[in-house]
Chains A and B, each alone.
Chain A
Amino acid sequence: MAKITYDGIEIEVPDGTTIMNAARQLDGKLAPPAMCYYTPLKGSGGKCRACLVRVAAGSAKDPRPMPKLVASCITPVQDGMVVENNSSPQVLEVRKGIVEMLLINHPLDCPVCDQAGECSLQDFAFEHGLSTTRYEEERRTFDKVDIGPLIQLHMTRCILCYRCVYTADQLTDGRVHGVLGRGDASEIGTYIENIIDNDFSGNVIDVCPVGALTDKTWRFKQRVWFTKPVNAHRDCETDQCAGRVTLWYKGPEVLRVTGRKDENGEVKEWICNTCRFDKKETTDWTIEGPAPVDRSSVVSANHYELPVLNQQVIADMPASTVRELAQNPPLKLGGLNG
């Protein structure tokens, strides 16, 4: 076991645990943001640099600070390590820079992007970024490509986290998915326009932190915050499919099926393409109940249980806005009409 101090809080974790996972054990909300690391994917992490933290003391044996910020998702703890995340101004400054870097070539087409509302990049930028940009150059763009009939790749939005590559590599046999090119001209390719044709290929959609890989059976159907996530399961015949999913309802209709994400936004049980793309009737499933949604998530906005705007927020709004919202509610207003 190793005892570490993380933002002033002491925690003891098994040897070999990464700083990221130690922090998540403490509280996912206090952990550094992760844009590339994905627990179930071996080899993931270390790339986006969103999770950089300062190690103020390396270990009890060698209490010197580490010379550079380290990627918390791949750096194992040492007994006596002192880690600074939000308590380090340097970390927060660098993180602002990482957001900026990830956004300069991002299209910012959230209004038409299916991922909006459940996008890690939106969350990351909202929490750590600036609301202005210093970027005046032309942005990098790519054409959209269909990889098979069910998945679309919109490379312009990709942040090159490599999660889909590891997923395709580790989950599907005979890999047909990887990174081509170099630098900011790198792109996810399915060499050469081979479709990802495998029972589990749909999982690349779930792991994608942004809207670069989307489910074609769901594209443009609905904003995610107007849907209601419900956990369900079925007895799936596909070998190794968990059959435990989240159904996303709009009224009585199942608009999409995804793997179940945990509190860190990670899918721990993969699902097969039959469950994901073909089983869209309530009768296909045994319903377990509402999927837990974090209070801060925009998905909560339309949630039957969690009104998102509280009285204080409403009190701070101009009366005209409140009136308009009440007459024409795009969101549910807590205590007003909910």
Chain B
Amino acid sequence: MGRKLLTEHINVEGIDTMAVYRQHGGYRSVEKALKTMTPDEVVEEVKKSGLRGRGGAGFPTGMKWSFLAKPEGVPRYLVCNADESEPGTFKDRQLMSKLPHLLIEGMITSSYALGANTSYIYIRGELLYVLRILEKAVAEAYAAGFLGKNILGSGYDLDLHIHPGAGAYICGEETALLESLEGKRGNPRNKPPFPAVSGLYARPTVVNNVESIAAVPVIVNEGGEEYAKIGIGKSTGTKLISACGHVKNPGIYEIEMGVPVEEFIYSDEYCGGIWKGRELKAVVAGGSSVPILPKSLILKTAAGEPRLMTYESLSDGGFVTGTMLGSGGFIAMDETTCIVKNTWNFSRFYHHESCGQCSPCREGTGWLEKVLHRLEHGHGQMHDIDLIVNVAKQIEGNTICPLGEAAAWPVTAAVRHFRDEFEWHVTHPHEATRPGAVYHGGLVLA
């Protein structure tokens, strides 16, 4: 059994209340940080912990914090990104609804470290029930003196606001989020300037994922070095993985970094194998935007090493034979899954969610979706397969924000690893559209 740093008490009755949370050691990090540590010391611990952003990009949190500009007399902000909308990713929602005080504790300790006196949690609009849970917890934290003026007599003030989005995936991109928080249309900003210099209301701002912030109390309590002992190499600590698709036990697992992918899929401690006694066909390991890998490459790297649940191991081989840990949205697909249909479905999502500011993404996502729709429905031609790869290439790297890449990667990867399946859709349009018929490894299953 791996250690559970975030979710140890998640199933304790009443853990969403201040009283029970406190009984289980809650808010200790606030007391420790505010009473015994300087803000810089907290930043230092986070640096030592090796914590990397859990929102998808995996940028070292401590380093991000140390980049924050600190001009005299200018307010700075911490914003928690709780917009979680990437298909396949559903860990933050669970964490917030079951352990609202963990996030609030993390927000207080982190805000203290950054010298922010006003902080925000920007939460996905659809998660209204979670918003209610958080609001109740924030009220409890104010009542207990963990928020507001002069917290625990330390002289440190913090106000925490929760702001719901209006249901746009793009508002999870950090600068679109800041625009939306400012009350504007959620269009991503051109960078530079980065939020660390000019973020919310043009002030220095740190944006962090829910899970990143929730890891801060443990790091402060146990020390960064202790935290860094868990995991392998530059992938330290634990990670929440939301497993879904055709596994026996879908759900959210807190794993120690470094668990082999094979163990994660097949062991009863985690996913328990593929459902209905079927065979694994492919995995999207880190949310819908990361490259899909066939079974052979997700279990082992191209060099034949076992693939591990770490940033480094999953991206071993680059995009030719590897993928990314991303946000930890782990989607397993069994042999009855049509990769063409799945790719079309993903591209439909990105088409729908593009903000439409920059031409390659606005036009290209729609183009991809339309061609993939044709391919899936038996109206594709051979040249369409190269066309979608080329359109994806035209988007990738040429846009304002990474949604362009998120739309392009699933397409290029699907064609890279499952080209024969795309071709089969072209050469066998009637077969391909027969309900239930799926091409898998050179055979047609019906």
Using CB atoms and an 8 Å cutoff, list the residues of chain A in contact with chain B. 35, 45-50, 52, 68-69, 71, 74, 94, 97-98, 100-102, 104-105, 134-135, 137-138, 140, 159-160, 162, 178-179, 181-186
- Tell me if B358 and A48 are in contact (CB < 8 A): yes
Chain B 382-411 near chain A by CB (<8 Å), digits 1 or 0: 000001000000100111100000000000
- Cα(A48)–Cα(B361), bound, Å: 10
Establish whether residues A101 and B365, one from each chain, have CB atoms under 8 Å apart when the complex forms. Answer: no
Whether B370 contacts A186 by the Cβ 8 Å rule is no
Q: Which 8 residue pairs of A and B lie closest in terms of their CB atoms, listed nearest first? A: A97-B394, A183-B354, A186-B356, A101-B363, A46-B190, A137-B370, A183-B356, A184-B366
Query: Does B354 lie within 8 Å of A49, measured CB to CB?
Result: no
Residue of B nearest to A73 (CB): B190
Closest chain B residue, CB of each to CB of A181 = B356
Query: What is the CB-to-nearest-CB distance from B411 to chain A, in angstroms, rounded to a whole number?
Result: 15
What residues on A are CB-neighbors of B362 within 8 Å?
A: 101, 160, 183-184, 186
Is A97 touching B360 in the complex (CB atoms < 8 A)? Answer: yes
Chain A residues positioned under 8 Å from B358 (CB to CB): 46-49
List B residues at the A interface (Cβ < 8 Å): 168, 170, 185, 190, 351-360, 362-367, 370-371, 374, 387, 394, 397-400
Contact B185 A178 (CB under 8 A): yes
Which chain A residue shows the least CB distance to B354? A183
Distance, CA A68 to CA B365, complexed state (A): 20
Q: List the A side residues contacting B400 at CB < 8 Å.
A: 46-47
- Give A215 Cβ to nearest chain B Cβ, in Å: 26
- 16 other contacts beyond A100-B394, A101-B367, A104-B367, with CB at 8 A cut-off? A45-B190, A46-B400, A47-B400, A69-B397, A97-B394, A97-B398, A102-B359, A179-B185, A179-B356, A182-B353, A182-B354, A183-B354, A183-B355, A183-B365, A184-B351, A184-B362
B366–A49 touching, CB < 8 Å: no
Contact B370 A101 (CB under 8 A): no
User: A184: which of B185, B365, B394 is its contact (CB, 8 Å)?
Assistant: B365
A49 touches B360 (CB 8 A): yes
Complex Cα–Cα for A47 and B364 (A): 14
Closest beta carbon of chain A to B118's beta carbon, Å: 25
Distance of A49 Cα from B364 Cα, bound (Å): 13
B interface, over-half SS: helix
Whether A182 contacts B356 by the Cβ 8 Å rule is yes
B190–A98 touching, CB < 8 Å: no
Chain A binding site: helix, strand, loop or mixed by DSSP?
loop
Alpha-carbon distance between A49 and B352 when the two chains are bound, in angstroms: 21
B394 and A183 within 8 A (CB):
no
Q: Give the CA-CA distance A216 to B359 in the complex, in Å.
A: 28
Q: List 30 A-B contacts (CB under 8 A).
A: A46-B190, A48-B358, A49-B358, A49-B398, A71-B190, A98-B360, A98-B394, A101-B359, A101-B360, A101-B362, A101-B363, A101-B394, A102-B359, A102-B363, A104-B363, A134-B387, A137-B374, A159-B359, A160-B356, A160-B362, A162-B357, A182-B353, A182-B356, A183-B351, A183-B355, A183-B365, A184-B354, A184-B363, A184-B365, A185-B356
B287 to chain A minimum Cβ distance, whole angstroms, is: 19
Q: Determine if B360 and A183 form an interchain contact, defined as CB atoms under 8 angstroms apart.
A: no
Chain A residue at minimum C-beta to C-beta distance from B400: A46
Chain B neighbourhood of A102, CB < 8 A: 359, 363
Write out the residue numbers on chain A whose beta carbons fall within 8 Å of the beta carbon of B353: 182-183
Tell me, in angstroms, the Cα distance from A49 to B397 when the chains sit together. Answer: 11
Whether A160 lies near B357 (C-beta < 8 A) is yes
Contact B363 A105 (CB under 8 A): yes
Task: Check A48/B359 contact, CB under 8 A, given A101-B394, A182-B168.
Answer: yes
- Known A74-B190, A94-B394; judge A49-B355 contact (CB<8 A): no
**Contacts known (A182-B355, A183-B353); A94 close to B398, Cβ less than 8 A:** yes
* Chain A residues within 8 Å of B398, by CB: 49, 52, 68-69, 94, 97-98
The smallest C-beta distance from A68 to any residue of chain B, in angstroms, reads: 5
Say how far A125's CB is from chain B's closest CB, in angstroms: 13
Contact call A135/B367, Cβ cutoff below 8 A: yes
In the assembled complex, the Cα of A46 lies from the Cα of B353 at a distance in Å of 19
Q: How far is the CB of B257 from chain A (nearest CB, A)?
A: 27
The residue on B at minimum CB distance from A94 is B398
